[in-house]
């Protein structure tokens, strides 16, 4: 038996180390959970944007949009190549309206065959819609937003989308 152990020295050192470990671990766990939520939302937005670009590329639209496109955006009723280049975001700080951190998604895409600005806006609106929709589906917050999923919500964030940046 060690002489220090007689006076409880080893027990006190162990408790101090355990206390410091807890003090360091709890904030670390909280920050990892927050970054995990943001990563999950970004992955969902990427999947949604890819779904939107696929429907744009194949010219698959809901009936009312297709009828509108046949009249006003004839180029969009034919298949085209729409690619998602990257998705990044801007942290806009705490939103007082929702008491959550506001994140604005910026999606960069390419559609070389579609040169008309109004046609690109239609394509971009659909891509943004699917990105926001997928975030809501991922966090089961469809009931917290409107029919356009704008804004999209997670537990700690509120997401909006900027206009697509065409390359």
The residues facing 94 across adjacent strands are: 101
Q: Could you give the CA distance from residue 7 to residue 12 in angstroms, rounded to a whole number?
A: 10
Domain residue ranges of the chain, discontinuous segments joined by +: 36-166
How many helices and strands in the chain, by DSSP H and E?
Answer: 4, 5
10 CB-side CA count, 13 A:
6
- pTM tops 0.85, yes or no: no
pLDDT by position in tens, the chain (length 167):
455 556 666 677 888 888 888 888 888 777 776 678 999 999 999 999 999 999 888 888 888 888 888 888 888 888 889 999 999 999 999 999 999 999 999 999 999 999 999 999 999 999 999 999 999 999 999 998 888 899 999 999 999 999 999 99
13 CB-side CA count, 13 A:
6
- Burial level of 65, CB count in 10 A (0-12/13-18/19+)? middle
Q: Dump the DSSP string for 40-68.
A: HHHHHHHHHHHHHHHHHHHT---HHHHHH
3-state secondary structure of 13: helix
């Amino acid at each position: 038996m060690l002489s220090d152990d007689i006076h409880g020295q080893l027990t006190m050192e162990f408790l101090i180390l355990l206390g410091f470990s807890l003090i360091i671990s709890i904030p670390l766990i909280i920050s990892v959970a927050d970054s995990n939520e943001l990563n999950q939302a970004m992955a969902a937005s990427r999947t949604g944007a890819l779904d939107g670009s696929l429907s744009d590329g194949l010219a698959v639209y809901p009936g009312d949009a297709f009828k509108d496109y046949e009249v006003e955006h004839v180029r969009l009723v034919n298949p085209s190549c729409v690619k998602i280049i990257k998705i990044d975001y801007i942290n806009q700080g705490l939103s007082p309206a929702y008491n959550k951190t506001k994140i604005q998604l910026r999606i960069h895409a390419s559609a070389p065959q579609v040169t008309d600005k109004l046609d690109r806006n239609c394509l971009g609106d659909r891509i943004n819609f699917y990105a926001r929709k997928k975030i809501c589906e991922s966090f089961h917050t469809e009931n917290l937003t409107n029919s356009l999923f704008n804004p999209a919500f997670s537990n700690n964030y509120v997401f909006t989308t900027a206009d697509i940046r065409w390359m």
